[in-house]
A and B are shown apart, each in its own frame.
Chain A
Amino acid sequence: MAQELVNPSLGKDLLGLEELTREQITAILDTAERFKEISDRPVRKVPFLRGQTVVNAFFENSTRTRVSFEFAEKRMGADTVSISTTGSSVQKGETLVDTARNLEAMRIDMVVIRHASSGSARFLAERIESHVINAGDGKHEHPTQGLLDLLTIRDHRGPVEGLKVCICGDVLHSRVARSNIHGLKRLGAEVAVCGPLTLMPADVADLGVRWFPRVEEAIEWADVLNVLRLQLERMKGGFIPSLREYNRVFGVTRARVEAAPRDLLILHPGPMNRGVEIDSDVADGPHSVILQQVTNGVAVRMAVLYLLAGTPAQDVEAAA
């Protein structure tokens, strides 16, 4: 057989896009592109992960991400178990590592973890032998969300290099924003953020992005808007005066989108607060690719499972 084309290794774990090279990110996106077709087959399942066990450990609420991972795991042929905070021994005071080691004692291959503490995925990855996939750790990263956003942008606007992408809203508390910024910059996009100064991280300049204080300016500049969810509890924290005022000043409204000089592409990681950060007219309108993001999420997670599973032993050692 002639020389086989191979992908670059991702190492043992997927913890964030900050650590990945352009080649690794591109390999995940190209693989995901091929895997989209599997979800349209009469039998939506391939036997690649047959006999492998994946644990979805969600120590923070999530429906969309957990279901997306479960679909991806099942379509790749894995056996899956999902545990959540409620009803688990976590509530009885067991530590994260004890929980994971108990799971490992039952012979598992991968752990997908969602946790409220930044750095929890790395903490776990350094202490267990199984592959770890970060499904959102505190305010740090949510790499598979960043990847599905990249795939969706690429589907609609071709190569990401040179595109102007603005992330709008609560960048301060957003792991989605961080993964987007790292991934977009690694692929050569120009990145900006837009929102009230109270919701911008202090190190925004260190991230190498520009800041727009007004959403009209952001729309004037951008090819793509990624509109973040405004977590409603932020109002109580005093970050914004009121939801109505937020919508009036920063909301992505139909009038603002129609005034854009270019054909804007609008993403939102969900769940949306309609009428707060984004109006229904826009969310359901012709510029929105929000549901395609959800479809792409399954393909991207299948690609990550494919590329991580059974990583060469020397890579595991090198990554440790």
Chain B
Amino acid sequence: MDGPAVERALSRMADDVVRLAAGAHELVLVGIHRRGVQLADLLSDAIHGRSDLALATGSLDITLYRDDLMVVGPRPVVGQTRLPAGGIDGRTVCIVDDVLYTGRTVRAALDELADFGRPRRTLLAVLVDRGGRELPIQADVVGERVEVPEGGRVEVMVPEIDGELGVDLVEAAG
């Protein structure tokens, strides 16, 4: 997907989020570190253009809630976790991430959010759903569904980190 294709996908996602969050008192878009944070900002801009829903954004780093880190290995650099000053109690929260794959990141995000409060409702929006779930987790809003061969990767690029907006499918090496 090139930049314009991702922008079109984000517009469709914005429509879906507005529809699902209709009647919400306030919508909090929480991006998962790293690329989910930029996507949450882009989604927020798109929602602003089409709805007068009260919006707030935040970021969540799920490293300390991962289920695979106590096994030996290098320690990831921890990113910023920042939720709106008013908290998330009673609000509608939409978790935003780049790729939905095993579902383990979303499980960690749900656990971490529960330590910040009790949203009235929590939604999940992802730019790419590549299948391959290992947990009973599904997205409410999906930009694009793709089939990825075993061992392949989906790489989402955002301007702040990668200099451009886009999605690449990378085949398994060899």
Residues on the A chain within 8 Å of B99, using CB: 1
Contact present for A35 and B72 (CB under 8 Å):
no
Q: Is B155 an interface residue (CB 8 A)?
A: yes
Taking the complex as formed, is A48 at the interface, i.e. its CB lies under 8 A from any CB of chain B? yes
Interface residues of B in 67-89 (CB under 8 A from A): 69-82, 87
Report if A5-B77 is in contact (Cβ < 8 Å); known contacts: A43-B115, A46-B65: yes
Given contact pairs A42-B116, A46-B64, A47-B64, A6 touches B77 in the complex (Cβ within 8 A): yes
Is A313 at the interface (CB under 8 A from chain B)? yes
- Over the window 67-92 of chain A, the binary record of Cβ atoms lying under 8 Å from chain B Cβ atoms (1 yes, 0 no) is 00000000010000000000000000
Q: Answer yes or no: B61 CB below 8 A from chain A CBs.
A: yes
Do B72 and A313 touch (CB < 8 A)?
yes
Q: What separation, in Å, do the CA atoms of A76 and B73 have in the docked complex?
A: 18
B116 engages A309 (CB within 8 Å): no
Say whether A273 faces chain B, with CB atoms less than 8 Å apart. Answer: no
Across-interface contacts of B117 in A (CB, < 8 A): 42
B70 x A34 contact (CB < 8 A): no
Q: Is A233 an interface residue (CB 8 A)?
A: no
Contact B74 A48, beta carbon cutoff 8 Å: no
Binary contact track B130-151/A, C-beta < 8 Å → 1, others 0: 0000000000000000000000
Which residues of chain A are within 8 angstroms of B64 by Cβ–Cβ distance? Answer: 38, 46-48, 76, 306
Return the CB mask of B71-113 against A: 1 if under 8 Å, else 0.
1111111111110000100000000000101000000000110
A interface with B by C-beta (< 8 Å): 1-2, 4-7, 9, 27, 30-31, 34-35, 37-38, 41-43, 45-48, 51-52, 76, 306-307, 309-313
CA distance A31 to B73 in the complex (A): 17
The verdict on B153 contacting chain A, using a C-beta distance below 8 Å, is yes
Given known pairs A34-B79, A48-B64, the reply for A312 and B116 (CB within 8 Å) is no
Interface residues of B (CB under 8 A from A): 35, 61, 64-65, 69-82, 87, 99, 101, 111-112, 115-117, 153, 155-156
Minimum C-beta distance from B34 to chain A (A): 8
CB contact under 8 A between A45 and B115, given known A1-B153, A2-B155, A309-B70: yes
CA A307 – CA B67 in complex, angstroms? 16
- Residues from chain B with a CB closer than 8 A to the CB of A1 are 99, 101, 153
A1→B132 CA distance, assembly (Å)? 13
A47 cross-chain contacts in B, Cβ below 8 A: 64-65, 111
Cα-based distance from A170 to B69 in the complex (angstroms): 43
Q: Are A35 and B73 in contact (CB under 8 A)?
A: no
Q: Provided the pairs A5-B77, A6-B75, A7-B75 are in contact, do residues A310 and B116 lie with their beta carbons within 8 angstroms?
A: no
Interface contacts (Cβ under 8 Å), in number, total 71
A312 to B75 alpha-carbon distance, docked (Å): 10
Chain A binding surface SS class = loop
Q: What 7 A-B pairs have minimum CB-CB distances, sorted nearest first?
A: A6-B74, A43-B115, A46-B64, A5-B77, A48-B64, A34-B78, A312-B72
Q: Are A310 and B70 interface neighbours, CB within 8 A?
A: yes
Complex contacts, B74 vs chain A, CB 8 Å = 6-7, 9, 312
- Is A4's CB under 8 angstroms from B76's CB? yes
| Apart from A41-B116, A48-B65: 6 A-B pairs, beta carbons within 8 A | A5-B76, A42-B117, A47-B65, A310-B70, A310-B73, A312-B72
B75 proximity list for chain A (CB < 8 A)? 6-7, 9, 306-307
Question: Hey, which chain A residues are within 8 Å of B61, CB to CB?
Answer: 34
In the assembly, what is the distance between CA of A47 and CA of B64, in Å? 7
CA A7 to CA B76, docked complex, whole Å = 6
Q: Which B residues lie within 8 Å of A48 (CB)?
A: 64-65, 69-70
| Contact in complex: A2, B35 (CB < 8 Å) | yes
19 A-B pairs within 8 Å (CB atoms) are namely: A1-B99, A2-B155, A4-B76, A6-B77, A7-B75, A7-B77, A9-B74, A34-B78, A34-B79, A38-B64, A42-B115, A42-B116, A42-B117, A45-B115, A46-B64, A46-B65, A46-B115, A48-B65, A312-B74
- Collect the chain A residues with CB atoms within 8 Å of residue B80's CB: 34, 37
Contacts of B81 in A (CB 8 A): 34, 37
Contact residue among B76, B77, B115 (Cβ-Cβ distance under 8 Å from A41): B115
Nearest residue in A to B70 (C-beta to C-beta)?
Answer: A310
